[in-house]
Amino acid sequence: MDKFDIIIIGAGPAGMTAALNCLRAGKTVLVLESESFGGQISFSPRVENFPSYRQTSGAELMDKLYEQISEWGARIELESALKTEKTEDGFVVTTDYNTYLCTSVILATGVKPRHIGVEREEELIGSGVSYCALCDGAFYSGEDVAVIGDANTAVQYALLLSGYCKHVHVCALFDKLFADKAITDVLLKRENVTVTYNISLKEFVGKDELRGLKFENTKTKSPFEIDCKCAFICIGQIPNNKAFESLVELDKNGYIVADENCTTSCKGVFVAGDCRTKHIRQLVTAASDGAIAAFNACKYVDEANA
């Protein structure tokens, strides 16, 4: 079995930043990715909140990072990590194709936005369907937009959007908002925000770009339509941590419990990016986590080899 100093599971901005820093420290690194390199940010057509770039695309930014770690000598495999076990000598990582050994592991598996499951949702991602107002909201300044959801993230997104969008439609499935009272009270006072309750999304309107949404009232079954340029879907996220629930501690929502040093409950396992417990999930914080996790993983490897 091939052995590495550090195996990084996940090749989004956190995982690849971790790889870059581990490689620069002289460590042998294997990066495992189960789906596509770059993570969620790869689907964002414009990125304007990452230092040094006035504007770029998520795909272009991740391509550059991929090239960078490749040039530094990372071994990169498109394989899914099915099981990770701690042994006396380190860790055994079993994928759908191979088994690898390593001294330390960095988990950077990210999250998936919970999709609403309406036809053409995937097709319109980046063309009027978004899961991140922090990432994409500014592109719709002066436009009518919709926020689908009823909890804290949805209300926070709606407040943010109301600062520069012409009108914000908040579309709630139930007869109330479940967000904290303080921010809900602020939202309901905004003149350019309309909250509509008891509606269920049935259709995205628009051919190449979103033009509107069709709903059904869950009580009366009557149709309800909204004209908008973008729908921000905020119905939760799903961390990709199921395969590690017996290795590290997860919180009640499935996120890996970690501190600001990116350490986990299992010695030698570190975590970076959106899959860990944290308050802010952005491209720049994922990259920051990657650097921190790399530093601590390298330190762990050095101490293990001393």
Assigned token pair, 141: 């300044």
Q: How far is CA 97 from the centre of its chain?
A: 26
**Catalytic residue of the set 102, 132, 266, 298:** 132
The question of whether 132 is a catalytic residue gets the answer yes
Catalytic residue among 5, 22, 102, 135: 135
How many Cβ atoms from other residues are within 10 Å of residue 144's Cβ?
17
Is residue 136 annotated as a catalytic residue, yes or no?
Answer: yes
Q: What's the rounded Cα separation, in Å, for the pair 63 and 45?
A: 13
Name the DSSP class of 212. E
Q: Which of 5, 102, 136, 165 is catalytic?
A: 136
Beta bridge partners of 148: 171, 233
Is 228 catalytic? The answer is: no
Hey, which residues are catalytic here?
132, 135-136
